[in-house]
A and B are shown apart, each in its own frame.
Chain A
Amino acid sequence: MLARVRSKWTWLAAGLLLVLLILVPFVSLLSPYTGLMIFIGIYTMVTVGLCLVMGYSGQVSLGQSAFFGIGAYFSAILSKTYDVNPWLAMLIGATATGAFAYVVGFPVFRLRGNYLAMATLGLGIIIYILFRQLGQYTGGPDGMAGIPYLSFGGFAFDTPFRRYFLIWGFCLATLLISQNIVNSRTGRALRAIHGSETAAESLGINVSLYKVKIFVLSAVFSSLAGSLFVHHLRFVSPQPFDFMASVVIVVMAVTGGLASVWGAIFGAATIRILGDEILPRLENLATLKAWHVDYLNIIIYALLLILVMIFVPQGLFLGLKDAIGRWQPKLFRKGSKS
């Protein structure tokens, strides 16, 4: 029955979230932040993928932004250079990214811990170097502009207002899918792998296969996010997919709580709001005549990573949730699914 109480509350929370999301572009107080919200939506999609890999199956991936980038560049190049229909390009991108993840997945996931981390990191940087150096296709470090908008027949997603709903539609879909998977047979298999691979195998779970499967899913999420990213900005360049970007995605996942699907929104939102709204202002405040503060964001991200990992390894989102839970013991007790 505790489970029922908890789920009741999660549904309530989800409902409130939904209402808020719908209100954003209409309420004059919030509407200026539509652009910000769009990025939050996109990064939530990437983050939730990483959460599935890191939080549930317990595998490190420091190359997540590579998948983000592959999706982005597939959409950009196909729809601009070879004017393929953007939706088709998006689909091809997702498929290709998934296939890529599948192929590299098997050898890479024979590695564990540190080696896995470094392998994914290396892969990520190699992909980034390719984005930067394959100038004739990618536009090189300069990037490429003039990517078409997504559109349904006559209806083009050519205003932030329209894209906001499109992107959050995708975002919520990915969240729902992830939620379903986590609480399914597959989800239990993944968490079992996280708990103990030997025990998992003894229960007939094909460990390496499931690792790769979830890796592929996260790659596809990231790829879709990438496509939406370029069709929103109508521009693509390599930098958003470099190593630091992968780290930022980890920061988001960690802040939200690695083993928490809905935490992904929290994580992405916290970091984007920090980076886009708060830190710039703080930097300006801290800026003195001859001394400029330009790296506050990096420093804050770093502190977040370290402190959260030391004090609330389950993530800020779950941490705060537990903190609240300590006041109202009945409501959110235990249960790692959320």
Chain B
Amino acid sequence: MSARTVLETRGLGRAFGGIIALENLDLILAEGKISAIIGPNGAGKTTLFNLIAGVYSASSGQVLFKGVPLNRTPAHKRATMGIARTFQHVLLFSNMTVLENVMAGQHPRSRYGFFEAALRLPKAHREEETISLKAKQYLNLVGLGMYADRNPLGLPLGQQKLLTIARAMATEPKLLLLDEPGAGLNALEKQGLSELIRRIRDMGITIILVEHDMDLVMGIAEWVIVLDSGQKIAEGTASQIQKNKRVIAAYLGDEEAIE
């Protein structure tokens, strides 16, 4: 497989006060693949996301996006470069309609600013047209078209999760980070979610998801990375991981029992 690497981390680490959340992590992720990061709670999965997205700055090592080191790049710039994400706790904008939430996602892909907006210049008009058009497309992509004018918090959790994906997609990313997209969804919704994720992958977008639901992960992930207490203990295809002794010991053993 000669796919170009989209994301690479070198000796990436982050500590909060004394606690080491992530330690000396090396990753290489190929373009257009669905990768999953799994591991017990506190393994550093979300920390890794936050480091990639730029919410935290790395204490050591670095993140490279398409070969460009990101250490000095603030979160909003990374989004513009093509890194989008969803959140474990959806973090939807309750002060906007469903459609506006997605339209907000178009921010980095539109130009017009204060001045044009204030005076409703034609430029603003034109861009608004395209913004809402695209926003509607992404809403339809996740199948929420009919709720455009609703308040997002009025939607059931499953649809809220889909909405966050639509919002993230609206930034037209190269790399999409999904933080526990499956949590709180029923079997049927998960079915739909997997299909959605595949469809997004087919659009040529690289996807990394953090997920607890093994069936979901094993179902769609082409590459699986296992973290435990801040360190990478294994990576490989789903089947390889399922056979991996350390993983079973450290992870599947107890976690699965609870599932």
* Chains A and B directly touch (beta carbon < 8 Å): yes
Taking Cβ atoms with an 8 Å cutoff, the residues of A that contact B are: 2-3, 177, 180-181, 184-189, 191-192, 194-196, 198-207, 213, 217, 259, 334-337
When A184-B124, A213-B114 are in contact, do A199 and B87 touch as well, CB less than 8 Å?
A: yes
Q: Does A192 contact B117, Cβ atoms closer than 8 Å?
A: no
When A185-B112, A188-B103 are in contact, do A194 and B95 touch as well, CB less than 8 Å?
A: yes
Distance, CA A335 to CA B105, complexed state (A): 18
8 new A-B pairs (CB below 8 Å) besides A188-B104, A259-B95?
A181-B114, A181-B117, A185-B127, A191-B93, A199-B93, A205-B76, A207-B76, A334-B149
Q: Does B100 contact A203, Cβ atoms closer than 8 Å?
A: no
When A198-B55, A203-B167 are in contact, do A189 and B75 touch as well, CB less than 8 Å?
A: no
CB distance from B117 to the nearest CB of A (A): 3
Q: Does A186 contact B108, Cβ atoms closer than 8 Å?
A: no
A2 to chain B: closest residue by CB: B149
B106 to chain A: closest residue by CB: A185
Could you pull out 7 A-B pairs where Cβ atoms are within 8 angstroms?
A180-B119, A184-B116, A186-B117, A191-B93, A196-B93, A206-B76, A336-B151
When A202-B84, A217-B114, A334-B149 are in contact, do A189 and B93 touch as well, CB less than 8 Å?
A: no
Chain A residues lying within 8 Å of B93, measured Cβ to Cβ, are 191-192, 194-196, 199
CB distance from A244 to the nearest CB of B (A): 30
When A177-B119, A195-B95, A205-B107 are in contact, do A188 and B100 touch as well, CB less than 8 Å?
A: yes
Considering only residues 44-80 of chain B, those with a C-beta below 8 Å from chain A are 53-55, 74-77, 79-80
B109 to chain A: closest residue by CB: A204
CB distance from B160 to the nearest CB of A (A): 13
Chain B residues lying within 8 Å of A217, measured Cβ to Cβ, are 114
Count of chain B residues near A, Cβ 8 A:
47
Distance, CA A142 to CA B26, complexed state (A): 70
Q: Which of B92, B105, B117 is within 8 Å of A180, CB to CB?
A: B117
Q: Cβ of B131 < 8 Å from any Cβ of A?
A: yes
Q: Cβ of B234 < 8 Å from any Cβ of A?
A: no
When A195-B92, A199-B93 are in contact, do A184 and B128 touch as well, CB less than 8 Å?
A: yes
Q: Would you give the 0/1 interface string for B82-118, flagging 1 where the beta carbon is closer than 8 Å to chain A?
A: 0011010001111111001001111110101110111
Query: Most chain-B Cβ atoms within 10 A of its Cβ — which of A198, A202, A206, A335?
Result: A202
Q: Cβ of B9 < 8 Å from any Cβ of A?
A: no
Q: Which of B76, B96, B117 is within 8 Å of A336, CB to CB?
A: B96
Q: Which of A186, A196, A203, A207 is within 8 Å of B105, CB to CB?
A: A203
Q: Does A185 contact B110, Cβ atoms closer than 8 Å?
A: yes
Q: Cβ of B243 < 8 Å from any Cβ of A?
A: no
CB distance from A262 to the nearest CB of B (A): 16
Query: Most chain-B Cβ atoms within 10 A of its Cβ — which of A181, A187, A188?
Result: A188
